Amino acid sequence: MQAKKRYLLVSAGVCALLLVYAWTLRVAELQTRLSHRPPAGPEPPAPRPYLEGAEQEEDGPLLQHQHTSPRERRDVHKNIYKSRRCRMDTCFDFARCQRAFRVYVYPPARGEAVSESYRKVLAAVDESPYRTRDPAEACLFLLSVDTLDRDQLSPQYVPDVRARIQALPLWNEGRNHLVFNLYSGTWPDYTEDLGFDVGQAMLAKASVDVENFRPRFDVSIPLFSKEHPQKGGERGRLTANGVPPARKYQLVFKGKRYLTGIGSETRNALYHIHNGEDMILLTTCKHGKDWEKHKDGRCDRDNEEYVRFDYQELLHNSTFCLVPRGRRLGSFRFLEALQAACIPVLLSNGWELPFSEVIDWNKAAIIGDERLLLQVPSITRSVDADHILALRQQTQFLWDSYFSSVSKIVLTTLEIIRDRIHTHMSRSRLMWNALPGGLYTLPQFSTEPTLFPFYYGLLGKAPQQEFTAVIQAVSPLQSPLQPILKLIIAVAKSKFCAQIVVLWNCEKPSPPRSKWPPVPVPLTVIQGERKTMSGRFFPHDVIRTDAVLSLDEDSVLSTNEVDFAFIVWRSFPERIVGYPARSHYWDGGKRRWGYTSKWTNEYSMVLTGAAFYHRYYNYLYTHYLPTRLLAMVDELANCEDILMNFLVSAVTKLSPIKVTQKKQYKETMMQQSCVLSRLTNGHLE
């Protein structure tokens, strides 16, 4: 019994000592926090650290660190997870989208400041085909309040967002709203809190964690810099498809190293796989105001080696580029690697990759594990040359299709949401992950890949073995010897001709059926209602064949020439294939583009006065091209075939194909009384 009492007394004493020790540690922690508390008032931004152009400020400004209280952390958790279960069927009003998919942007408040990046986002929506200025017909709403940077330490941070959003008359707890965000949270936790309750709004967010991502509701977007172009963008750097795809370096990285805090583990360990030869992993801890206070024994040596290598030279001469997480999961390194045709090796556990709902990243990147850093060299060396080439080609396709500009990022986001709403007219994974990409394959035309000109080879299919001839008629029918009648007879004799359609775009009424020659195939005359030049490419329902033979009324072709061109087209169904070729060139003296019809050994387009193309391009021409371009063609009453050539080449990244003929293609210079007749020189110079 005495031994038991002594045991209890000793246990109680030990517990008391532990409590005292724990209290001592707590007091010390509080004193440390108080000693690091920032001074009152706003603190000016830190000077930009030296990075030799290697890494932009993807982690936000480097200001004095702030700590969050337990209450603030609870509020953050509440805001992030409040609507975590939102999905399209629970937090989206489909009734607003029954008529059409339209996007309404709230008008900005007077004096409202908007960052350059958010201005580009709003401009992309404003120039999209979905923009509406009537909120009553809107399916989706976009804030005019800049929500891209929600780091409270950032100079781009917009205060009072919560009150301003709640005051919107159509906010409705965020339902049918889309919120764009690049940066959320701040030091030290870098949580995904935006500082306001997004409610039932969808998030188009960078650096999003899979645990907080709401599948098929939110959209993961890439982190892009303020210098990212609004439109256009630079082309990818893959200039040759040689095998083996040899480059000087196997794996490279150049960027900041964090000595403490979130995101420091992986970058602090990169020196283990750096060999100074074909594995170049460079880091610097020389960033921020207090870097010297925290530097470790490797800082000076790392900084010296860091400045010896040029980042662009590394980027464009390496097979693989390491993309480790920073303070946040996403990194500018991701887009930089894609553009450079440097295969990304991702080390960012838990990152929901950009547009992962539609993009298969296994075809363009190596997805690694931060915990297995030492295995990265052997993984990259195990990839064979053929696979390297395929991965590299896919990086270029994805960069050019979805990431090279802010407009493409925004339009891809909108198209993903649109596909969710109109599930009966949504793109397949094949359309998103194969040329020409989801933005050029309009599901309103079809959701069946075999009806597009791009996928025959991938699917083991072939286009139909017949065509529809579409003849543009702009002159009145006055003589049985007119070229259009001879053309109809010659085309109708082709064993591949399914039907002939005459687009009657003359001011005078079309002649009766008895005036047209008897032919063995159906002959349909369509009255042009608007009688415009762009009308020749309207996707008429009567055109059911894959191939369209576009003809001017004065084209002179034999049946054999028609058959030969069609056989060639069936081998290249995604291209324009025809006879009359032209060239455009840059006139350095006049500082403008020129156009020539001279016969040379080079050409850049094939005119649609005698050419085959896939009928999908009629739909794309009519429903995809900006209306201002179509209006320009109609105003000039010319140049529609130039616009069609540029459209097809922009979509396919391929040139047209010119076929030769036994006798020279004749372009009869006919001066007719028809208002829409062509100019005698063929096109405006």
Q: What is the mean pLDDT of residues 88-117?
A: 93
- In the sheet that 605-606 helps form, which strands lie side by side, from edge to edge? 592-596, 581-587, 605-606
Residue-level pLDDT at 379: 97
Nearest to 473 by CA among 421, 432, 428, 509: 509
Average confidence (pLDDT) over 63-83: 53
Sign of the CA dihedral with 488 first, then 490, 493, and 497 last: negative
- Closest Cα partner for 150 from 188, 113, 186, 109? 186
In this predicted structure, the answer to whether residue 143 has a pLDDT above a threshold of 90 is yes
Please tell me the number of Cα atoms within 13 Å of 576 on its side-chain side. 32
Whether the per-residue pLDDT at 147 is higher than 90: the answer is yes
> Environment class of residue 473 by beta-carbon count within 10 Å: exposed (0-12), middle (13-18) or buried (19+)?
buried
Structure confidence at residue 244 (pLDDT) = 63
Please tell me the least confidently modeled range out of 68-77, 205-214, 250-259, 615-624.
Answer: 68-77
Residue 463 has pLDDT above 80, yes or no: yes
Q: Is the dihedral of CA 355, 359, 360, 363 positive or negative?
A: negative
- What is the residue whose two structure tokens read 């399916």? 139
Confidence of residue 77 (pLDDT cuts 50, 70, 90): low
Q: Picking from 55-69, 395-409, 414-428, 537-551, which range would have the lowest pLDDT averaged per residue?
A: 55-69
Higher pLDDT, 43 or 620: 620
Q: The tokens 């394959």 sit on which residue?
A: 441
- To which H or E segment does residue 142 belong? strand 140-142
**Strands 547-552 vs 610-614: parallel, antiparallel or unpaired:** antiparallel
- The pair phi, psi for residue 380, each rounded to 5°, is -70, -35
Q: Which amino acid is at 482?
A: Q
Q: Is 634 exposed, middle or buried (0-12, 13-18, 19+ CB in 10 A)?
A: middle
What is the predicted pLDDT for the residue at 186? 74
Q: How confident is the model at residue 296 (pLDDT cuts 50, 70, 90)?
A: confident
Q: Does residue 132 surpass a pLDDT of 90? A: yes
Q: Find the helix packing angle between 616-623 and 640-652, rounded to 10°.
A: 110
Decide: 495 and 567 in contact? Cβ < 8 Å.
no
User: What is the pTM (predicted TM-score) of this model?
Assistant: 0.85
Report, as an integer, the average pLDDT of 115-132: 96
Residue 595 belongs to what H/E stretch?
strand 592-596
Least confident of 58-72, 153-167, 220-234, 663-677: 663-677
Q: Which pLDDT belongs to residue 30?
A: 36
**What burial class does residue 635 get, using C-beta atoms within 10 Å of its C-beta: 0-12 exposed, 13-18 middle, 19+ buried?**
exposed
- Cα(178)–Cα(203) distance, rounded to whole angstroms? 6
pLDDT in tens, 252-294: 999 988 777 776 788 889 999 999 999 999 998 877 676 766 6
- pLDDT tens track for 7-21: 444 455 544 444 444
Q: Where are the alpha helices (DSSP H) in 476-539?
A: 483-492
Express each pLDDT in 299-336 by its tens digit: 888 888 999 999 999 999 999 999 999 888 999 999 99
The closest alpha carbon to 269, from 337, 368, 192, belongs to 368
Q: Where are the alpha helices (DSSP H) in 60-160?
A: 70-81, 88-91, 116-126
Residue 456's pLDDT is 97
Report the 10 Å Cβ neighbour count for 114.
17
Higher-scoring residue by pLDDT: 64, 317: 317
pLDDT the model gives residue 261: 72
- Confidence class for position 247, pLDDT limits 50, 70, 90: confident
Report how far apart, in Å, the C-alpha atoms of 668 and of each of 45, 406, 577, 682 are.
70, 46, 21, 10
Average of per-residue pLDDT values in the chain: 85
Compute the distance between CA of residue 176 and CA of residue 88 in angstroms, rounded to an integer: 9
C-alpha distances out from residue 403 to 28, 47, 234, 339, 624, Å: 49, 30, 10, 9, 19
Nearest one of 676, 565, 546, 677 to 619, comparing CA atoms: 546
Q: Give me the percent of the chain exceeding a pLDDT of 90.
A: 67
Asked if 350 and 210 count as a contact pair (C-beta separation under 8 A), the reply is: yes
H helices of 435-519, where? 456-459, 483-492
- Tell me, what's the pLDDT at 10? 42
Amino acid at 292: E
Cβ(246)–Cβ(283) under 8 Å?
no
